[in-house]
Amino acid sequence: MACTNAKRPFVDMNWLARDRYTSANRCFTTDCPNLRQPFFTVHYSLFINSATLSDVKYLLLLVVCILLGVGSFWADGFFRQTVLDLQGENWRGSAVEKFYGKVRVYGDWPYLMLYGGVGLLVAWRLRNVRWKRVLLAAMIASTAAGTLANVSRLTTGRTRPRADLTEVTPGFYGPYHDGKFLVGNHLYNSFPSGHTATAFGFAVPVVCAAPVVGAFVLVGAALVAWSSMMMGAHHFSDVAVSVLLSLWVGVFVWRRFDGLVGWVVRVRRRFFPPAP
């Protein structure tokens, strides 16, 4: 009998939600034997098994992230001095400064969504269900982590490192200070780093699904984080907290991806019922 699942629409969320996932070798399978299987599989004895991570361990991960985030403030002075030493006297207008500026531009959320969209198109053309799921999870986690970081930094009122060179006293001022609102004021929107959150939010689900490929994505995310410090846009603690936030969000999205897809399917059916 001919296989009926081989040519499903790209946006068929019902089909995506019905896919089965085997945790033994991290390989997605479906009822259709003609769908292409992953090019290789990786066993995960040394990596986060997010599909079977218990709620207790997940909460423990959250606690550890909070503690590490608090501790990162102690290293701000050291990393700031390191950045100033690396910049030197001829930093402004140098090729290195332009390089780090380009990294921040092409590692930001719009371009990450572009990369993910292109990857989804390729996965759809190759009928690779596994990578469609991975890239969707990465895009969702990147958006969620970036949103949390950007909402937070609009209200914390923390000065940026380059504000040290002006008359602004470094510190946290909140959303309102000295008779004016600081929301949207670039010099007071440092904590946490939105660029870092979106980059690592994209990388974490990929690392959970395919560590070999995810390692390269993680290097790119780390370069975005380092560029944020080199450009004087963020303190080390801004970047560190964003990394920890993205780790928590990325693991959560990867663990709950099937549930998120099911929720989308239910919402679609509620507001856009299928034709009789």
User: Could you report the per-residue pLDDT of 162-208, keeping only the tens digit for each?
Assistant: 866 666 788 899 998 888 888 888 889 999 999 999 999 999 999 99
Mean pLDDT score, 1-18: 44
So what's the pLDDT on residue 194? 95
Q: Is residue 34 part of a domain?
A: no
Q: Is residue 156 part of a domain?
A: yes
pLDDT reading at 12 higher than 50: no
Number of structural domains in the chain: 1
pLDDT reading at 11 higher than 60: no
Mean pLDDT score, 68-94: 92
Q: Is residue 265 part of a domain?
A: no
- Share the mean pLDDT of the chain: 81
Q: Is residue 213 part of a domain?
A: yes
pTM over 0.85: no
Pick the more confident residue, 47 or 131. 131
Q: Is residue 207 part of a domain?
A: yes
Question: What is the domain-level CATH number for residue 171?
Answer: 1.20.144
pLDDT reading at 20 higher than 60: no
Q: Is residue 4 part of a domain?
A: no
Per the structure, the complete domain to which residue 145 belongs is given by 51-257
Task: Decide if 193 contacts 243 (C-beta within 8 A).
Answer: no
Pick the more confident residue, 55 or 120. 120
Q: Is residue 149 part of a domain?
A: yes
Pick the more confident residue, 39 or 232. 232
Q: Is residue 199 part of a domain?
A: yes
pLDDT reading at 54 higher than 80: no
